[in-house]
Homo-oligomer: A and B are copies of this chain.
């Protein structure tokens, strides 16, 4: 990740992460760099820095591992079938809780919210996930206030989005929140994403 002193966004990738959950926000945040005063940079990182095979078979090589991605302003945590293994690993959930203390905004896409729930990050908070998985969210933590209407739920330091393509909308929202409505509109216009 470029060390330009700007706003730093890291997208965590893992075996079985859903393709568009990863690349939708990546595209938005990378395009933001061409329109912004905040010098945002976006990068992918896997647990150990090695390549991953996403949920539908696409293989990507992340730029970093968790050890060398460095401090982030925003962590994006995608969904996908791979979350089921991660949320069952105590060490991974401990890592999520540790990262959460250092990272101003934790943002999940789709079933990435299940890992957040398992780590206790959503306790007593409003949140959303892919529409097929609301029950799993409350099974993991009954105190979560599931929003079944929103495309994303911004609860300040923790932001969750609905399924897959909703991650694009959440990322555009974060651009608006962190910079301005005008800049978010420019990014949306440039990637020709329809109004939400």
Interface residues of A (CB under 8 A from B): 18-20, 22-24, 26-27, 30-31, 42-44, 51, 56-61, 63, 130-131, 151, 162-166, 168-169, 190-194, 196
Contact = CB atoms under 8 A, between A and B. Distances in A.
Given A20-B23, A165-B193, A192-B131, A30 B59 contact: no
Contacts of A163: 190-192
A58 B56 CA distance: 17
Given A19-B27, A23-B20, A192-B131, A63 B57 contact: yes
Contact of A194 (B22, B24, B44, B194): B194
Given A164-B192, A169-B194, 4 more contacts: A20-B26, A22-B23, A162-B192, A165-B191
User: Which 4 residue pairs spanning A and B have beta carbons closest together?
Assistant: A163-B192, A30-B56, A23-B23, A20-B27
A13 to B, nearest CB: 10
17 contacts: A19-B26, A19-B30, A20-B23, A20-B191, A23-B24, A23-B58, A24-B24, A26-B56, A26-B58, A30-B56, A30-B57, A59-B63, A60-B61, A130-B192, A163-B191, A165-B193, A166-B192
A165 B26 CA distance: 13
Contact of A24 (B18, B20, B162): B20
B60 A60 contact: yes
A187 B61 CA distance: 27
A75 B169 CA distance: 28
Given A57-B63, A58-B60, A61-B59, A27 B194 contact: no
